Chains A and B, each alone.
Chain A
Amino acid sequence: MAMARFVMRELVGLAIASAAVVAGAVVVATAQPLAAGIGRAPTPDEVAALDISVAPDGTGLPRGHGSPREGELLYRSTCAPCHGARGEGRAEFPALAGGVGSLASAQPVLTVGSYWPYATTVWDYIHRAMPYDSPGALTSDEVYAVTAYILRLNGLVAETDVLTETTLPRVVMPNRDGFIADPRPDVR
């Protein structure tokens, strides 16, 4: 009986919330959420373990460090088989280095160095999805090191530079300002 009354109350809550949606109000900002009993709150550790988001200003980067020198050995064993010894790419595996200054030409060469606007994106993508056949296998320091080596191949950091959660976002990529908003519909 108590259960039935509970369900009834929830249904009434639902109807009120739906009416608020129709009225265009900012819904459930203060009142009880639509279905507060559904799901559970994650623990902070749970969120920390899952949250791999990294923003261009470095928000979300874990503490760590790596230099081009440290990254070279790892790059040669882990990345070069697909992306080439100097990041030149091979078959369906994209080039990682070169092409800076080519974007306006008839034969633009799009690489991490020539095209990617943010160094954090390089770190994030390696961390998230590489190595292709064993994603997630690299430690944070290894990701910093490999990122540093790829940026070194593009001449964007020095051999002795150390990338950290603080220095990585400060690397200015050549094509940072190479993007424009969507102008479509541009053809009528």
Chain B
Amino acid sequence: MPAATSRLGAGRRPYGARSSFETSRRAFRDDSATPGTGSSRTPLQDSLGILTPSALHFERHHSGVPVIDPATHELVIHGLVDRPRVLTLADLRRLPSVSRVHFIECAGNSGREHEGRPGADPQQSHGLASCSEWTGVLLSVLLREVGISSTARWVIAEGADAARHARSIPLDKAMDDVVVAYGQNGEALRPEQGYPLRIVAPGWEGNINVKWLRRLHVVDRPYMLRDEAASYTDLMPGGKARRFTFVMEAKSVITRPAGGQSLAGPGDYEITGLAWSGRGAITRVDISSDGGTTWTPATLSEPVLPKAFTRFTLPWRWGGRPTTLRSRCHDETGYVQPTRDALIAARGMTAGPDGYNHYNGIKIWTVDGDGTVRHA
């Protein structure tokens, strides 16, 4: 009889933890001179389903993770409004709430693929994206609450962190689907994700999803904060830079089999991965195992939600010969994920202030004859 069966198990515990056999972890460089600045990446290759465990959600901070007491935290809404308001967390909990599943993705996610330094595994190549169920109050509800003036066009969201990170959000987006969230995957936000309050701007680059939210300033124009005037702009060949490049376009990555893994030998496998689009729902994912000559539609696992990770699967028989695996997704606007070559033809190879932002090219994994999977 197995040991686990022949003796009594462990007792209860008030707050659970994963099995001691599980080792999946975020990855980050820890040699920075400014430890609060930087990012950690989600191990997408270990991800099951579409939700990222909160403990594995990617991080990006400019000045570290603040400690904020929710009992004293306040959100101030002011500017071009009829009734400026100070709201506590308890106040927000009295307002109508929503729960929505959305991905958040750093603008620079997979930018090294653009650059030609592809990540060795899904965590390194695409790990600056995660997906959670977010619970909170629609920003549109708060704005109606305070009564926005007819000259209002943008809303500045500002955090309570040491960088007082802030971004200007266009009013159309603010009134559409932005959530002022206090919940993540069934519990309060994690500190790294903005505890106790954050902006979730579905489908838009991570930087505008302001964490540790403490102030909403309704204004008549964008205020050209550093992270919209200089950083988070996309420099193009010829010297002009695109700005207000908010939306994260449709992207997919095979997470298994993928770089860093190996196949045990010829036989049957499941190809699985994640696809997402900042413009809406994923409608189709095609997979090619012959260099992009023929494509087979994968099955999309329910639920398929707009601006959320969508899981795709496809049974696959590997004959034992060297090959490549790639995925190509489509979204509800008819947009099809482009190749790296097509993106570079349109946008060139000019690094912007943060490297390469908004890259969404098709990701290719190489399968060697011995079953080793590598980045192509």
Contact = CB atoms under 8 A, between A and B. Distances in A.
A131 B147 CA distance: 37
Contact of B164 (A52, A93, A121, A187): A52
A46 interface: yes
Given A33-B144, A129-B164, A132-B63, A53 B217 contact: yes
A22 B335 CA distance: 30
Contact of A39 (B37, B91, B96, B335): B91
Contacts of B182: none
B245 A117 contact: no
A144 to B, nearest CB: 17
A44 B34 CA distance: 36
Contacts of A29: 147
Contact of A33 (B145, B156, B217): B145
Interface string B63-100: 10000000000001010000111111001001110000
Contact of B94 (A38, A105, A120): A38
| Chain B CB within 10 A, most for which of A34, A187, A188 | A187
B215 A50 contact: yes
Given A41-B84, A180-B241, A27 B144 contact: yes
Contact of A186 (B158, B246, B347): B347
Interface in B197-243: 214-215, 217, 219, 221, 223-226, 229-230, 233, 235-243
Interface in B235-261: 235-247, 249
Contact of B226 (A14, A125, A178, A181): A125
Interface string B29-71: 0001110010000000000000000000000001100000000
A140 B79 CA distance: 22
B244 A178 contact: no
Contact of A116 (B214, B230, B343): B230
Given A129-B164, A179-B241, A186-B346, A55 B219 contact: yes
Nearest to A37: B94
A40 interface: yes
Contacts of B120: none
A129 B62 contact: yes
Given A40-B86, A132-B63, A179-B233, A104 B238 contact: yes
A46 B163 CA distance: 20
Contact of A35 (B34, B94, B164, B350): B94
B118 interface: no
B304 interface: no
| Chain A CB within 10 A, most for which of B83, B85, B226 | B226
Contact of A110 (B164, B166, B240, B353): B353
Contact of A34 (B145, B236, B240, B241): B145
8 contacts: A42-B86, A53-B223, A105-B239, A118-B224, A120-B224, A129-B62, A182-B246, A187-B347
